[in-house]
Amino acid sequence: MSAVKTAEQINQRTAEHESDNKTVFGFWVYLMTDCVLFACLFATYAVLHTNTVGGPDGSELFSMPAVLAETLILLTSSFTCGLAMLAAHRAQKTQALFWLGVTAALGLVFLALELVEFRHLVAEGNSWRRSGFLSSFFTLVGTHGLHITFGLIWMFVMMIRVVRAGLTRSALRRLTLLSMFWHFLDIIWIFIFTIVYLMGELQV
Amino acid sequence: MNRRPVISQHNADGGNLQLYVTGFVLSISLTIAAYLMVVNHTLSKWQLVYAIAVLAFIQFLVQLIFFLHLGREMKPRWKLGVFLSMVLIVLIVVIGSLWIMDSLNYRMMSPDMINDYLTKQDGGI
């Protein structure tokens, strides 16, 4: 009797696992379409980045140490997000919350550095209205920053949920999606770092 | 350890600590390498451009494999299929845009610019 029950439970769990897999796959498809969105913005930037109409180009505007700091902070947050997922899968609530907190804090620092950079550019008269180069720059980097903002909001909501309801099945599934989103944003940033900042510094 | 089967199965495709640490160390090294090469101007301009493009591509693969666990799913590999379709679309959009705009610039040249262009090409008219 108990063996039958266990078999039933396992069947149910397999079914649940399959539906979770479908959710993860659906989210993966969304991330891929988001990649296409970023590709369009990268293409726009690639076409427009020389159109400075006598204004400054990237190498005159970007502060490379700040950009390196932003990159390393985002990379570390992607890693701590992975650690949070590992802890969540081991059902270690406190550890998962700790690493999620670290991830969110690093994300906030990244966003703050980016906003400081934007404010500095605008204050010196180099806003998106200055040239085609700056329009495409603000659109591309700003869209990434907006994704980070939404990711942070999602992370805080998930932290509150985990604190109140624990690491339930649905919480675990949503955390999986959130971590995919966060890793994805880190991957987009590699290309922003290389194409916008490093190649900008080289005046390609 | 009486782990529930669902959780251990999840763990199997959710990665492990070693994967994340490897991915993290590789990514940090690649980022710092690209940064130092550009800041110190270790190579000529175009060599540097190709070098950092290659480093970015390697880091892209590293993060896909070690952080997003691409290629670790069972057959049929739907995730990989969607990923490759995305790469195809991205390449068409990016290369196509650059090609079209370059061609447009070429066709919209003023007479002076055409002269300059031809001078560069085969020593002028």
DSSP string, A91-119: T-HHHHHHHHHHHHHHHHHHHHHHHHHHH
Q: How distant is the Cα of A79 from the closest Cα of chain B, in angstroms?
A: 6
Angstrom distance (rounded) from CA B11 to CA A166? 18
Please choose, from the candidates A66, A41, A54, the residue with its C-alpha nearest in 3D space to the C-alpha of residue A135: A41
B114 touches chain A (CB under 8 A): no
Give B82's contacts in chain A (Cβ within 8 Å): 28-29, 32
Angstrom distance (rounded) from CA B64 to CA A31? 12
ipTM above 0.90, yes or no: no
State the maximum Cα–Cα separation within chain A, in Å, rounded to a whole number. 82
Q: How distant is the Cα of B119 from the closest Cα of chain A, in angstroms?
A: 22
For A143-179, give the DSSP string.
HHHHHHHHHHHHHHHHHHHHHHH-S-HHHHHHHHHHH
Q: Chain A residue closest to B81 (CA)?
A: A29
B90 touches chain A (CB under 8 A): yes
Q: How distant is the Cα of A192 from the closest Cα of chain B, in angstroms?
A: 10
Q: How far is CA A66 from CA A52, A109, B9, B31, B74, in A?
A: 23, 12, 41, 14, 41
Confidence band (pLDDT; 50, 70, 90) for A16?
Answer: confident
Angstrom distance (rounded) from CA A48 to CA A134? 9
Q: How far is CA A48 from CA A121, A134, B35, in A?
A: 18, 9, 24
CATH class of residue range A23-201: mainly alpha
Residue ranges of domains in chain A: 23-201
User: What is chain A's mean pLDDT, rounded?
Assistant: 92
Res A3: pLDDT: 62
In b/e form, how buried is each residue of A103-115, taking b as 16+ CB within 10 angstroms? bbebbbbbbebbe
- Cβ distance of B48 and A202 shorter than 8 Å: yes
Res A5: pLDDT: 64
Res A167: pLDDT: 92
The one-character DSSP state at A195 is: I
Pick the residue with more confidence: B112 or A132?
Answer: A132
- Please tell me the pTM assigned to this model: 0.87
* % pLDDT > 90, chain A: 78
- Cβ distance of A199 and B52 shorter than 8 Å: yes
Pick the residue with more confidence: B100 or B4?
Answer: B100
Mean pLDDT, rounded, for B67-96 = 90
CB-CB: which of B14, B34, B101 is closest to A194?
Answer: B34
For A46, residues 6+ apart whose C-beta sits below 8 A from its C-beta are A195, B94, B97, B98
Query: Which amino acid does the sequence have at A83?
Result: L
- Cβ distance of A193 and B31 shorter than 8 Å: yes
Residue B15 reports pLDDT greater than 80 = no
Cβ atoms of B38 and A165 within 8 Å: the answer is: no
* % pLDDT > 90, chain B: 51
Res B4: pLDDT: 44
Please choose, from the candidates B52, B57, B53, the residue with its C-alpha nearest in 3D space to the C-alpha of residue B87: B57
Q: What Rg value do the Cα atoms of chain A yield, rounded? A: 21
Give B22's contacts in chain A (Cβ within 8 Å): none
